[in-house]
Amino acid sequence: MTSDRFDYEAIGVIRTPFESPEGMPIQPVGNDATEGIVEVEEAYEDGLKDLNGFTHCILLYHFHESPNRSSLHVVPFLDEKKRGVFATRAPQRPNRIGISIVEIDTIAGQKVVVDGIDVVDGTPLLDIKPFVPEFDVPESADTGWLDASISTVRSKRADGRFR
């Protein structure tokens, strides 16, 4: 293992109606109507300039409700079999970094109102990036073991397995 360490500070916080992970959608596509508010710190407000020209953005955040322990094998929400953690989107990982692609509704000052949020209220925000289909959606992509259960992603909800 490498001894490199990196320190990140939150640039804001994500506000959602979800008080805990249990029962919330496991991906944004499972909850495209739920509104969230991304609040950036005042020092980063100018960084939101020109984001309003995009329909979607990528949120990078810290899984603050996930335990500080991780395993290299997990049983993901869409399966009953243990999988390598890097072949899943499980919140328990060596670095508790999450990613969500959400639809931008409005931007006003330090607040970005988004639709399709799938994180716990109070989640620390690490970064925002514009979603660009030409960059972010490969023409041809395989989904590995998920092929068998991809149709259930819209209805699947989180349970307590990663607490």
Domain membership flag for residue 51: yes
d(CA 104, CA 55): 5
Condensed to tens digits (0 to 9), the pLDDT of residues 2-19 reads 678 889 999 999 999 988
Which two tokens mark 25?
């959608």
Give me the pLDDT at residue 71, please. 81
∠ CA 117-138-78, nearest 5°, is: 50
The mean pLDDT of 64-71, rounded to a whole number, is 78
For residues 85 and 73, the answer to whether their CB atoms sit within 8 Å is yes
**Which structural domain range is residue 72 located in?**
12-132
* Residue 90 confidence class, pLDDT cut points 50, 70, 90: confident
Domain membership flag for residue 4: no
- The three-state (H, E, C) secondary structure of 83-133, written as one string: EEHHHCCCCCCCCCEEEEEEEEEEEECCEEEEECCCCCCCEEEEEEEECCH
Domain membership flag for residue 77: yes
Domains of the chain: total: 1
The mean pLDDT of 112-137, rounded to a whole number, is 93
Domain membership flag for residue 70: yes
d(CA 58, CA 22): 23
Q: What is the pTM of this model?
A: 0.80
| CATH classification at residue 81 | 2.40.30.70
Domain membership flag for residue 43: yes
Condensed to tens digits (0 to 9), the pLDDT of residues 37-63 reads 999 999 999 999 999 999 999 999 998
Condensed to tens digits (0 to 9), the pLDDT of residues 97-108 reads 999 999 999 999
∠ CA 62-134-15, nearest 5°, is: 25
Give me the pLDDT at residue 149, please. 56
